[in-house]
Amino acid sequence: MTYVINEACIDELDGSCVEVCPVDCIYQGLTKRYINPRECVECGACLPVCPVDAILEPDQADDDPASFDDNARFFDEPLPGRDDPLGDPGGAAPLGAVGADTPTVAAHTKAE
């Protein structure tokens, strides 16, 4: 398991987590960020800087399995408007914003 970002991040995109990530494994979808499970080194640098406490630790997988599954889908399944999965690009910065979210996130309406 790795760290993941849950639905509290939808429409937040603060970027503090990206700035402190030493391996550039936090990718930006359209409305939410996602942590690449194969690029994350589980250092935890992102945890204290998240302004909405959206980052879950690996040992929280049983508490919120949907967030862990959805995070993996962002990298392992084709996103809307794409023919192939994102996979492991080797860093978020060179790729830039992906411009798409998983269907689960895209269908989510954040409570006001």
pLDDT tens sequence across 25-75: 999 999 999 999 999 999 999 999 999 999 999 999 999 999 999 999 999
Domain that holds residue 59: 4-93
Tell me what the mean pLDDT of segment 10-23 comes to: 95
Task: Please indicate, yes or no, if residue 105 is contained in any of the structural domains.
Answer: no
CATH of the domain at 46: 3.30.70.20
Task: Please indicate, yes or no, if residue 109 is contained in any of the structural domains.
Answer: no
Task: Please indicate, yes or no, if residue 79 is contained in any of the structural domains.
Answer: yes
Which residue blocks in the chain are alpha helix, DSSP H? 16-20, 65-76, 92-95, 103-107
- Our count of domains for the chain comes to 1
Task: Please indicate, yes or no, if residue 108 is contained in any of the structural domains.
Answer: no
Task: Please indicate, yes or no, if residue 32 is contained in any of the structural domains.
Answer: yes
Task: Please indicate, yes or no, if residue 74 is contained in any of the structural domains.
Answer: yes
Using the 8-state DSSP alphabet, how is residue 59 labeled? G
Q: Global pTM?
A: 0.93
Q: Residue with structure tokens 């411009």?
A: 99
